[in-house]
Amino acid sequence: MIEVVAELSRGPVFLAGEALECVVTVTNPLPPTATSASSEALAWASAQIHCQFHASESRVALPPPDSSQPDVQPESQTVFLPHRGERGQCILSTPPKILFCDLRLDPGESKSYSYSEVLPIEGPPSFRGQSVKYVYKLTIGCQRVNSPITLLRVPLRVLVLTGLQDVRFPQDEAVAPSSPFLEEDEGGKKDSWLAELAGERLMAATSCRSLHLYNISDGRGKVGTFGIFKSVYRLGEDVVGTLNLGEGTVACLQFSVSLQTEERVQPEYQRHRRTGGVPSVSHVTHARHQESCLHTTRTSFSLPIPLSSTPGFCTAVVSLKWRLHFEFVTSREPGLVLLPPLEQPEPVTWTGPEQVPVDTFSWDLPIKVLPTSPTLASYAAPGPSTSTITI
């Protein structure tokens, strides 16, 4: 029996283009006092990152797979296929890397191997929607001699920041002379440089504040004015808005605002209703605020953007956008007052009307949500960074 443990050194969340580092430890769990005949051996171990794509058959109409390029021995248990047994299609993968060959461990002995790979920058983000799913995994395959391959899968979460694909790592920024006796970690420099660049771009895009005002009206007049200081946010930030109802000519009885994502299947992949398909657009509410606001002059709200949610993105199959969805309940009666008279000659009992004729309408305000620091996302929404399998 051999125990294989894979541990991600920095948590399970990464930015596309960053280097993933994983330590794979192989152990013979028998006590050291066991006989030498209890030594265990593995023929080889290899690691690979892949992205698995799965689409809902009732929502997405995908073209048939290309039969001119068949899989390489898909049924063979001796070929390393990281996506073996997974649902959907493997749309992205890195080249496999061999960790070791012909490993033999005595009882109680343990050996560790380091795996490093850059996450493809051209891939989609991790996403689990109602129409499609994009799932990233690091798969480690191990095999004994004359035995089937055993797969150890480590789930990953990948965030994508648009615009980093066209950025080149500077090669001529080294000013100080390099020492031939010191090893330079070029991969670590590039990874650090990319993280700094992503942080600068996120800060520049989300730190700009300017008051945007929107007049809210229905068919009978002005309801109020909505104000928001920015339209671009990062995961983990709060969307703060103000609503001024004192200038309105139509009484607003109640309003609600929801922070939502809109998942839309691209037109060429939509399944039509006549073929049994369901609507190609779905909405998910992440936060909601509701308030009764008759005789309210000014109010505000704050909606947190979950760190576990997916920023907006667009692929050939689906797009994800963020929005604020407002719903207003207004009175049909002009100058509606539901307060008791201020001056009464004698004490009386006052009750409000049992019924008020109302109208309802909605309004959507698009906003943009970008990724955040992978380290922050890992700490705030921790996921499994260690996986174990016994062979």
**Mean per-residue pLDDT of the chain:** 84
Q: Residue 94's pLDDT is what?
A: 94
pLDDT digits (tens, 9 = 90+) for 237-287: 999 999 999 888 898 999 999 999 999 999 999 887 655 556 789 999 999
Q: Are residues 129 and 7 in the same domain?
A: yes
Asked if residue 120 is part of any domain, the answer here is yes
Is a pLDDT exceeding 90 seen at residue 200?
Answer: no
Q: Are residues 232 and 140 in the same domain?
A: no
- Report pTM: 0.83
Mean pLDDT is highest, among 42-51, 194-203, 376-385, for 42-51
Q: Residue 176's pLDDT is what?
A: 40
Residue 259 structure tokens: 């922070």
Asked if residue 26 is part of any domain, the answer here is yes
β-sheet with 238-244: strand ranges across? 212-218, 221-228, 238-244, 298-304
Q: Residues 298-308: what's their mean pLDDT?
A: 95
Q: Residues 284-295: what's their mean pLDDT?
A: 94
CATH at 121:
2.60.40.640
As for how many domains the chain has, the answer is 2
Q: Are residues 289 and 383 in the same domain?
A: no
pLDDT digits (tens, 9 = 90+) for 179-197: 444 444 554 555 566 777 7
Q: Are residues 99 and 119 in the same domain?
A: yes
Asked if residue 222 is part of any domain, the answer here is yes
Residue 298 structure tokens: 């000014």
Q: Are residues 219 and 137 in the same domain?
A: no
Q: Are residues 252 and 303 in the same domain?
A: yes
Asked if residue 50 is part of any domain, the answer here is yes
Asked if residue 11 is part of any domain, the answer here is yes
> 72: pLDDT confidence band, cut at 50, 70 and 90?
very low
Q: Are residues 381 and 268 in the same domain?
A: no
Q: Are residues 216 and 150 in the same domain?
A: no
Q: Are residues 10 and 129 in the same domain?
A: yes
CB-count exposure of residue 271 (10 Å: 0-12, 13-18, 19+): buried
Asked if residue 349 is part of any domain, the answer here is no
Of all residues in the chain, the percent with pLDDT exceeding 90 is 51
Q: Which residues of 66-92 are buried (b: 16+ CB within 10 A; e: fewer)?
A: eeeeeeeeeeeeeebbbbbebebeeeb
Q: Are residues 156 and 12 in the same domain?
A: yes
Q: Domain limits at 16? A: 3-62+78-160+376-390
Is a pLDDT exceeding 50 seen at residue 353?
Answer: yes
Residue 20 structure tokens: 């993933």
Asked if residue 254 is part of any domain, the answer here is yes
Asked if residue 350 is part of any domain, the answer here is no
* C-alpha to C-alpha distances, 291 to 33, 226, 237, 238, 341, nearest whole angstrom: 70, 15, 22, 18, 24
Mean pLDDT is highest, among 158-167, 214-223, 321-330, for 321-330
Q: Are residues 244 and 320 in the same domain?
A: yes
Q: Residue 4's pLDDT is what?
A: 93
Q: Are residues 155 and 9 in the same domain?
A: yes
